[in-house]
Structure 1
Amino acid sequence: MFSATTKEELARFSAGSKCCLLAEFSAIARMTGRFSDRNQPGDGAVFEMVTENAALARRMVGLARDLFDLRPSVKASRRKGRSPGHLYVVSLPYDMKTRAALCEMGVILERPRSRGQEAMRPGVPWSLLSKQCCRRAYLRGAFLARGYVQDPERAYHMEMMTDAEQLARGLARIASSFGVAARVSKHRRGFMVYVKDGDDVAQLLRVTGAHSSVIALESVRVMRGVRGDVNRVVNCDTANVGKAVDAGLAQAETIKMFLERSGMACLPPGLREIARLRMEHPEASLKELGEMAAPPITKSAANHRMRRLLSLARRAEAGDRGDRSVGANILVSGEAGGERGSEDGL
């Protein structure tokens, strides 16, 4: 749907100068054109341009009329298969007037192949593309003819298909002149010129003149960025909460083992309170433990008390002085020092 909307927009684009219209029609005719079985002027030969896009078929007719005073016929048929729709064939009688138009646009070689068989030009007609505006027009015509851009809600991808590698590399070269890093790959249907970076897709759309599509794409990119930022924050917060809970559970287990060995009475009031709060609320943060204290203390004070408590627990576990002597030293220290405020009475 996004690709079809983009083509509808470009099919209504007003190129302005004749040189740009010529460049655009050159790309369209080269990438959609084919000869009938008899491809020599006269003898009922026909040059056909085939498309699935009704707006492009109308543009082909208008360009042929305005640039070369040609009067093509249009035949529409219902397409069968997995992708039902219509196929439009814009036909020009292949006479000398049509041949002169195709030569002027660089669609065919001026000298036919052996036995008078006409040959499509294998590459880009650079003589038509000396101006930047004409290079833009050529890319626009190429995309209208055989281009596709994926809905940015799903992925960033824009492509143009050609039947000749030389033409594909020429299109990539034109795109690169506008700062677009286009690549070329061999495909079962020919050669694909494509970009997959969001900035490149936006720039290529901008170059061709699909400004409404650029706005739509950029809106999607902004929303994607916002959603990504929100997800990163949520994931980070979730991870931090998980780490805090794990740390709280580990602290509670360490304190429990210490108290089973030394008893609560060996601790001074400040450490006794933080030990009790941690045992009762293993999931709480240090800030929340500080708010539960009576009187409330700061996160820094709660952290200081917890560090002292865990240090004592580790010393007791290591058996540096023996369980009884550790408990006795703590008790004596608490009684001798006394309480010196909510942060010092540890």
Structure 2
Amino acid sequence: MSFTSETKQQICYEKLDEKSGRAQLCALLQMRASLHMNWQGMYLSFQIENATIAKHVFQLMKSLYQVDPRLSVLKKMQLKKNNIYRLQVYEKTKEILSDLMILTDTGLHFSPPAVYTRSQTNARAYLQGCFLAGGSINDPKTTNYHLEIATHEEQMAKGIQKLMQRFYLPAKMIVRKNTYVVYLKAGDKIADFLRLCNASQALFDFEDSRIQRDFYNNLKRLDNCELANEMKTLKAAQEQLNYIEVLEKNARKIKISEKIRHVMEIRKRFPEANMNELCEQCYLEYGEIISKSGMKHRLNKIKELAKPLMEEEHA
């Protein structure tokens, strides 16, 4: 089961009071339902590929409006050939849509009704319904954090975006193949959305994976940084050894102080040592306390002495 399916399953199992149930059902129908007419009159059709959500909608309809939706299972003939669960409501259709503020005297509405999103609890339930009907979330173990809710209605998408921003979720909206997508990219904000939806186990799994992933990324970054520093140290050390070799070949031509000779000997004995280690070895071998900047100065002095001699050799 995908991370999205697990999250939706957890949302479906949450107990709702009557008003929250209506708010959630309102979002589900706005996102997924279609209105039809036949010789019997008006009827409502809701279809989805997730069996748990279909069962959840069935139970909401039955408990809130005492109707008995007709359930049918269709086989998708393209791509993965998944089952499609269709619920059809032939009774109280107008009453249900009117009560949910989807159908009024001015027609069908696809924006979050104020009556069902005024309170924080109902607004949460409404967003839960939106996610159940058209939401998806990347598995936190993958490379990118991404949560989105897709709808064919621009008005609906703008309403969802506004609701999410009300909960300090900086949702953005794009148009993708005639579909309006409201999305979040930041890992901490996706975690906040899961918390808002009361998907506790999904939130725990998401945060656990996110912490592990961020830890390993930081560790890898540190390892890369250390490796780069080590390579830099080795390269500098090799150059210093080359300068020392030139000075030793031309020892009769130049005068080298005792302190510089100490550094030359230490560098030769510890070719892979960094600055701090060279300072420490200098103290252990010669009892000489030298700072990092002092060691750097002496190594630069070795370079200054060797450069002219190297130029003479290549002249």
Q: Which amino acid aligns with 1:128?
A: Y
Match of 2:34 in 1: 34
Aligned CA distance change for structure 1 residues 264 and 21 (closer, same or farther; 3 Å): farther
Aligned CA distance change for structure 1 residues 299 and 253 (closer, same or farther; 3 Å): farther
State how far apart, in whole Å, the 1-side matches of 2:152 and 2:212 are: 37
Match of 2:130 in 1: 142
State how far apart, in whole Å, the 2-side matches of 1:46 and 1:10 are: 27
Matched, 1:51 2:13: no
Report matched runs for 1:15-94 at 5 Å: 15=16, 17-36=17-36, 38=37, 43=40, 45-93=42-90
SS in 2 for 1:47: strand
Structure 2 stretches of 5 or more lacking a match? 310-315
SS in 2 for 1:224: helix
SS in 1 for 2:161: helix
Match of 2:176 in 1: 187
State how far apart, in whole Å, the 2-side matches of 1:121 and 1:133 are: 22
Deviation track 1:197-242 (CA, whole Å, cap 9, x = no partner) reads 1122111111122121111111112112211221122122112211
Match of 1:343 in 2: none
Matched, 1:249 2:238: yes
Q: Which amino acid aligns with 1:274?
A: V
Deviation track 1:168-219 (CA, whole Å, cap 9, x = no partner) reads 1011111111110111222214211111111221111111221211111111
TM-score by length of 1: 0.79
State how far apart, in whole Å, the 1-side matches of 2:177 and 2:41 are: 32
Give the CA deviation at 1:63. 0.8
Matched, 1:110 2:99: no
Aligned CA distance change for structure 1 residues 270 and 185 (closer, same or farther; 3 Å): closer
Match of 2:313 in 1: none
Match of 1:12 in 2: 13
Contact 1:287–1:299 under 8 Å retained in 2: no
Matched, 1:171 2:160: yes
| Percent of residue pairs bearing the same amino acid type | 24
State how far apart, in whole Å, the 2-side matches of 1:227 and 1:101 are: 51
Match of 1:335 in 2: none
Q: Which amino acid aligns with 2:108?
A: M
SS in 1 for 2:88: strand
Deviation track 1:29-61 (CA, whole Å, cap 9, x = no partner) reads 11110123x26xx62543110011111111111
Match of 2:145 in 1: 156
Aligned CA distance change for structure 1 residues 238 and 146 (closer, same or farther; 3 Å): same
Contact 2:73–2:83 under 8 Å retained in 1: yes
Which of residues 112, 117, 120 is equivalent to 1:124?
Answer: 112
Q: Which amino acid aligns with 1:109?
A: T
Give the CA deviation at 1:271. 3.9
Which of residues 73, 95, 115 is equivalent to 1:100?
Answer: 95
Q: Which amino acid aligns with 2:48?
A: T
Deviation track 1:136-167 (CA, whole Å, cap 9, x = no partner) reads 00000111111111111112111111121111
Report matched runs for 1:267-306 at 5 Å: 267=256, 271-279=260-268, 281-289=270-278, 296-297=285-286, 300-301=289-290, 304=294
Q: Which structure is larger by alpha-carbon Rg, 1 or 2?
A: 1
**Greater shift after overlay, 18-27 or 245-254?**
245-254
Contact 1:274–1:302 under 8 Å retained in 2: no
Matched, 1:200 2:182: no
Q: Which amino acid aligns with 2:51?
A: A
Give the CA deviation at 1:120. 2.9
State how far apart, in whole Å, the 2-side matches of 1:172 and 1:305 are: 60
Deviation track 1:292-339 (CA, whole Å, cap 9, x = no partner) reads 6696357954864674465266257569xxxxxxxxxxxxxxxxxxxx
State how far apart, in whole Å, the 2-side matches of 1:70 and 1:309 are: 88
Match of 1:324 in 2: none
Tell me the matched-pair count: 306
User: RMSD of the alignment, in Å?
Assistant: 2.7
Matched, 1:214 2:206: no
SS in 2 for 1:88: strand
Aligned CA distance change for structure 1 residues 110 and 70 (closer, same or farther; 3 Å): farther
Contact 1:289–1:302 under 8 Å retained in 2: no
State how far apart, in whole Å, the 1-side matches of 2:200 and 2:23 are: 20
SS in 2 for 1:296: helix
